[in-house]
Structure 1
């Protein structure tokens, strides 16, 4: 199986749509899917678009494909004394929190896809450390540049089809940047006052950080360090954070 064709079809792009996204002709995509090796700049563009390693594209390695899984609330209550290491997905909440973030900071010059990945991650993992409860409850995988929300592309692509947001390309220090702009306001009725306060604090903390700064910072976080490459990052590991990334005050025994 050709990896570029596989990744294109997994994302639901036509050959022309993929060509438009990396700014080549459809014939170029056809040639790649026929076995020709992309140029180095196009390998970089494909890897960024599909959120895989450049080596995956070059070597034809299919990355692991974790997907979100909704766990019924009843199942969580079976062991009330145990924290949940596999969170319950809440796609609606994910969409509204994402819209809330891009309504607030989506137009900032530094806020592209990578920054949004990290802000979502810290919203989720910091909240879990502080309150031992899920906020969005998204699942994240360990990628080269830091935590990545599972199925982010699928969820946001559906949001685009629904008219909730739009994807735009821009230049940031001569590099192509993927940005998302809102088409409607977020419905924050699904958020508690505590959750909203936490989200606002996280946005304020990281809104001016660059993608590189946030990636480097996430690499110091124990949950990311402890995860296998391309593996799911375990929420439970927030309780082993070092002081540099911890957001909770622990009582000294």
Structure 2
């Protein structure tokens, strides 16, 4: 697997563009929508969308190249974010400055991303983090270590998106 930074940027921009009007849409929700998009695609098609490495963190999976990709998207005037203080942390709300270029995304990849957005994008940061903690790849990984996408084939029914034959 070779990480595809341009494709990763298109996935980020696409999700931001589709979710920017949701009040709950911040960095944590974006992380989890990306994770479930990549890992659900892996379960269904046995390939990742971006070949991104996701790291096990306390609040769930985190894409390792996220900050670099977001910074580039901001420098390209494609997305921006508002950083607001909330209690003891900052909340990042992302929004799109132009329509995303999705020429690197296949129809199947967009379909998987759209299904993840439809199913999970209304969750707040705490709910989607808690939900991600139940997914097998996160559960079996060690903290601060990469998640192994192969564990999607051992998901509980609540997380599984592939139709398996008996």
What TM-score do the two structures reach when normalised by structure 2?
0.93
**Larger fraction in strand:** 2
Which consecutive unaligned segments of at least 5 residues does structure 2 have? none
Question: Is there any run of 5+ residues in structure 1 with no aligned partner, and where?
Answer: 1-86
Aligned to 2:39: 125
Aligned with 2:29 (options 111, 115, 129): 115
Aligned length: 166
Q: 2:111 aligns with which of 197, 206, 226?
A: 197
- Residue 76 (structure 2) pairs with residue 167 (structure 1): no
Asked if the contact 2:78–2:100 (Cα under 8 Å) also holds between the matched residues in 1, the reply is: no
Structure with the bigger RCO (C-alpha within 8 Å, sep 6+) is: 2
Taking structure 1 as the reference length, the TM-score comes to 0.62
Determine the structure 2 residue equivalent to 1:102.
16
CA RMSD of aligned residues (A): 1.7
State whether residues 109 and 172 of structure 1, in contact with CA within 8 Å, keep that contact through their aligned partners in structure 2.
no
For 1:173 and 1:217, how far apart are their aligned partners in 2?
Answer: 23
Choose from 153, 176, 179 the match for 2:93.
Answer: 179
CA distance in 1, matches of 2:104, 2:65: 21
Where 1:215 maps in the other structure, the secondary structure is: helix
CA distance in 2, matches of 1:196, 1:249: 19
Structure 1 consecutive aligned stretches of length 4 or more whose deviation exceeds 2 Å: 170-176
Q: Distance in 2 between matches of 1:113 and 1:196?
A: 20
Rounded to whole Å, the distance in 1 between the matches of 2:85 and 2:115 is: 28
Deviation at 1:237, TM superposition (A): 1.0
